[in-house]
Copies of this chain bind each other. A is one copy, B any other.
Amino acid sequence: MSYTIKDVAKKANVSVATVSRILNNLPGYSEKTKEKVLQVIAEMGYQPNAIARGLINKKTKTLGVLLPAVSDTFASVVLSGIEDMAHELDYSVMVCNTDKDGKRTMKYLQALREKQVDGIVFVSEFFKEEYYNAIIAMDLPVVLVSTKSQYDVPFIKVDDKKAVFDGVTYLLERGHRSIGMIAGTKGDPIATLPRIEGYKKALQDNGISVDKRKIAFGDFGFESGITAAKELLDHNEGLTAIFCSSDEMAAGALSYLYRISIRVPDQISIIGYDNTKVAEMAIPPLTTVGQPLYEMGKNAVKMLLDRETEESQSVFMPHHIVERETVKVIEKEEAE
Contact surface of A with B, Cβ cutoff 8 Å: 2, 45, 47-52, 54-55, 60, 62, 69-73, 76-77, 79-80, 83-84, 87, 90, 92-97, 99, 104, 107-108, 110-116, 137-139, 222, 248, 251-252, 254-255, 258, 277-278, 280-285
Contact = CB atoms under 8 A, between A and B. Distances in A.
A138 to B, nearest CB: 8
Contacts of A280: 222
Contact of A113 (B47, B83, B111, B254): B47
A106 to B, nearest CB: 12
A31 B110 CA distance: 26
B92 A115 contact: yes
Contact of A94 (B71, B93, B139, B255): B93
Contacts of A252: 281
Contacts of A2: 138-139
A250 to B, nearest CB: 10
B45 A55 contact: no
A55 B47 CA distance: 15
B116 A97 contact: no
Contacts of A110: 47
A80 B93 contact: no
Given A48-B114, A49-B55, 19 more contacts: A47-B113, A47-B114, A49-B116, A51-B55, A69-B80, A70-B76, A72-B76, A87-B104, A90-B111, A92-B115, A95-B95, A248-B281, A251-B281, A254-B283, A255-B283, A258-B284, A281-B281, A282-B283, A283-B283
Nearest to A113: B47
A291 to B, nearest CB: 14
B258 A51 contact: no
B97 A45 contact: no
A255 B73 CA distance: 19
A147 to B, nearest CB: 19
B84 A97 contact: yes
17 contacts: A2-B139, A47-B114, A51-B55, A51-B60, A51-B115, A52-B55, A60-B115, A62-B115, A70-B70, A83-B96, A93-B95, A94-B94, A95-B95, A258-B284, A278-B278, A281-B281, A283-B283
Given A251-B281, A283-B283, A97 B73 contact: no
Nearest to A53: B114
A51 to B, nearest CB: 5
B115 A97 contact: no
B87 A96 contact: yes
A2 B137 CA distance: 9
A254 B285 CA distance: 11
Contacts of A115: 50-51, 60, 62, 92
